[in-house]
Chain A
Amino acid sequence: MAYDYAPFPYTPPPGLTQPEPRHRVVIVGAGPIGLAMAIDLAQQGIASVVLDDNNVVSVGSRAICWAKRTLEIFDRLGVGERMLAKGVTWKVGRNFHHNEQVYAFDLLPEPGHKYPAFINLQQYYVEQYLAERAQDFPDLIDLRFLNKVTDHADHGDHVTLDITTPDGNYTLEADYYLACDGAGSATRTRMDLPFKGQTFEEHFLIVDVEMETSPFGNHDTPERWFWFNPPFHNGQSALLHKQPDNIYRIDLQLGPDTDPQIEATEAKVIPRIKAIVGDTPFRLDWMSVYKFRCAKLDRFVHNRVIFVGDSAHVVSPFGARGGNGGIQDLDNLGWKLAAVLQGKAAQSLLETYNTERVHGSAENILNSSRATNFMTPKSPIEALFRDQVLDLAADHPFARKLINSGRLSQPCTLAESPLQTPGDAPVPPGTPLLDAPILDAQGPAWLLSKAQGSFTLLTAGPAYLPDIAGIARIGINQSNDYPCYRSEDGHVETRYGTVKIYLLRPDGHVCAVFDTPDPTAIIAARDRALGATL
């Protein structure tokens, strides 16, 4: 059944009748990034106004692949379990050349994690669940649909916005302006900021079809299937994913010389789908023809205007690094902006959002560009190498590793960032925490759900964790006067060892490791993570 696009209610904003007091944060764009941003800030007590020129969720499934790290962030925001319950879980990708499988990869071969390698879930569900979660904070999140920002100006210590609504125009003032307004960011255009990168000449057709019969055939478990030169789509590539509600995503490479207006018609699309699924009845749910771009801003922080998500960087979709990269942006920014607004850190801490996420998005762009280059050879010699890699892959493991249909989203390491105190440990500084099963008073639980959202000391060793204001404590296999849990099946010990003491940032990244519970060293590392040494 097709998704019911119920419009969000519009209420005339107070600014139409009288000037509003200056807001702390205005978020422009109520897509997945803007909504998650507002929830993250609200959970830390920071109020925001969210403005969107539209009043429905994303039309079309668009971003569908949500990676493990994203789900772990959604868990912290209180929507992870709902996404997991609705989404289609998968972890195996298979690459085919013609009809033959040449390489398969398992993105999470080990047990003991709350969230899987990936779920597929249509962007409209993600936005709906986030919008509903945002309504849990009526005093902190002010959602304003059909509020279009037409201009803005940075005045050094605040930003002013001109906004138009169905009932007229008004202005707002805010300490910070978060541009979550997507790939075509009007904020970016107004500021005339260069958005540099690579445009790929190939057109791709993206189609969602609803059908009862699985195109994965006898495979019960949904997977990611990618074909080079499939028999049903000669000379091109194809990608197949399953989404909830019996909807299947099919991506077809069309080549550079096709006319998107002609290709995105039922007359052209239905025969292509029939070539794949045969005579099975299906319903066309959504289709679109794309050219892809990999591009980013040089800087994401421009004084009081901060770019988050697609407004800051776009990638080709092979690797699922667009939406997932954007969620990692807000995960990085949320606690820093809250700390600055609460007077716990200087404004210079926000500069590390810039450096850490420019680094992360550069890695995403590198991987997405390489995958797209492999899939769309732009010269005969590139096509020759690509085809020979595929031929060699049948017999030779090294060639299988060269096949690139997308290197799927992984969080980057922030080890080089000045916020982390260098050190060696099984989970080294700069990496997000590793989940593991534990037992709490109610029964089976997950380390992940206990350890994110504030600075946290964590150990599975014998050390007594010192009581330091503003730092939570978690002991594994201990009995002390702070939260302690039993490890299940030894996963915590295996992943963290039984020696080190870990200090986690509020975004769940390890920022320092210790051999002894020295309060002075721990406080110094926490202060460093808050930007004290910048």
Chain B
Amino acid sequence: MILDDKLGRDADAFYNALMDAHEGLDETESHALNARLVLIFANEIGDLDRLKTLLTTARQNTTS
């Protein structure tokens, strides 16, 4: 599966906002923030088949 670019011109602004969301958090807090983000994004997507594909895709990129 190919993950096409949907962020377009906002890619840099999104990435920057994501880094800002982590600003000042320690690693445990950042880890928790990421977990919350995954759950919130999953609810936004709201499609189990799509979510399962995304989970598999992310897992395939695990390098370790």
Contacts and interface: CB of A to CB of B under 8 A. Distances in A.
A and B physically associate: yes
Interface of A: 367, 370, 373-374, 379-382, 385, 388-389, 391-392, 395-402, 404, 407
Contacts, number: 54
B12 A404 contact: yes
Given A380-B27, A397-B2, A373 B16 contact: yes
B55 interface: no
A397 B5 contact: yes
Main secondary structure of the interface of B (DSSP, over half): helix
B4 A398 contact: yes
A398 B5 contact: yes
Nearest to A380: B27
A381 to B, nearest CB: 4
A401 B16 contact: no
Given A391-B61, A404-B12, A381 B3 contact: no
A385 B19 contact: yes
Given A370-B15, A389-B15, A398-B7, 8 more contacts: A379-B30, A381-B22, A381-B25, A392-B61, A396-B2, A396-B3, A400-B5, A401-B5
10 contacts: A374-B15, A381-B27, A388-B61, A391-B61, A395-B2, A398-B6, A401-B7, A401-B11, A402-B7, A402-B11
Contacts of A385: 15, 18-19
Contacts of B57: 396
B35 to A, nearest CB: 13
A495 B23 CA distance: 44
A407 B11 CA distance: 12
Contacts of B16: 370, 373
Contact of B12 (A367, A382, A391): A367
Nearest to B9: A401
Interface in B1-55: 2-8, 11-12, 15-16, 18-19, 22, 25, 27, 30
Given A381-B25, A381-B27, A401-B7, A370 B61 contact: no
A407 B27 CA distance: 29
A382 B23 CA distance: 9
A397 B3 contact: yes
A379 B22 contact: yes
